Amino acid sequence: MKLSYPSERPKLKPALRQTLAMRAEMACTEVATHGASASVFALRKRAKECRGLLHLLRSGWEDSTQWNARLRDAAAKLAPARDAEVMLNTFDSLTARRRAPAEFDSLREVLLDEIEIADAATDPDSIAQFADIMAEFARAARSLKMADKTAPIVWHNLARTWTKGQRACQEAAQAGEDATAFHDWRKWLKRHWYQARFFKPIDRPALRAHVAQVDALGKTLGAHNDLDVLHMYLQALCPNDPALARLAPDLLRARRGLAQQALDAAATLYAAPNPAEGWAASWQLWRAG
């Protein structure tokens, strides 16, 4: 089931209540069905979706900040093994372009060891604990109360997420080789992506294109982040390995290329006005229809 505004077209508060609870319950169902074999990718995705929508309730639902932190921390406990596998996949993709990828086997062994260490360090109860937190969150979401009228808060936070992403993009453009700014930009863009997917039904033709545009940019920033994480990890664990000295120029060149690709795409994306006002009007028309 895709992340989406409920087809019954309720007001914003019941729509968010229903959607947040259902996404959390989907995670619980995944664990109930597959137990310890549940997809970590799917579970983390449900948490990210909920956190993206929670930002729409900022300063409106008193518990939103607390829940955002709890979901983040619960998902992080599932992350180590998955993150190690992503590093290995990024490494393999990068070295496959070389004529003799075997010359980097010493680095690959370090990554394989990291996967084993991460697997061994993963708390066997973390998936069950994650499901318990998601179940608790689902109950809380179904009864959430707002401190004020929901619509103004939601549209304000939608505009804020867009503006924060736009500013983060500008900072990334000035950051040079500092990948931290790109990481911060990616976080705000991903939040907007979840929010845009939620509102997609209010104007499908326009938002389908917008969601695809944001998704493509997010994937570029994700690939940039994967290279940065890999570089930092290898620098920390094997800084004197000659294989790293041979690989680093390729890695940094690929990262620069992705950075420029992201900035070029962003120039088109952020040339459009802040979508909050237009989406608010479209939402009213859609509900009236």
3-state secondary structure the chain: CCCCCCCCCCCHHHHHHHHHHHHHHHHHHHHHHHHHHCCHHHHHHHHHHHHHHHHHHCCCECCHHHHHHHHHHHHHCCHHHHHHHHHHHHHHHHHCCCCCHHHHHHHHHHHHHHHHHHHHHCCCCHHHHHHHHHHHHHHHHHCCCECCCHHHHHHHHHHHHHHHHHHHHHHHHCCCCCCHHHHHHHHHHHHHHHHHHHHHHHHHHHHHHHHHHHHHHHHHHHHHHHHHHHHHHHHHHCCCCHHHHHHHHHHHHHHHHHHHHHHHHHHHHCCCCCCHHHHHHHHHHHHHC
Q: How much is the pLDDT for 149?
A: 97
Q: What is the pTM of this model?
A: 0.95
User: What's the pLDDT tens digit per position in 245-283?
Assistant: 999 999 999 999 999 999 999 999 999 999 998 999 999
User: What's the pLDDT tens digit per position in 158-209?
Assistant: 999 999 999 999 999 999 888 999 999 999 999 999 999 999 999 999 999 9
User: What's the pLDDT tens digit per position in 209-251?
Assistant: 999 999 999 999 999 999 999 999 999 999 999 999 999 999 9
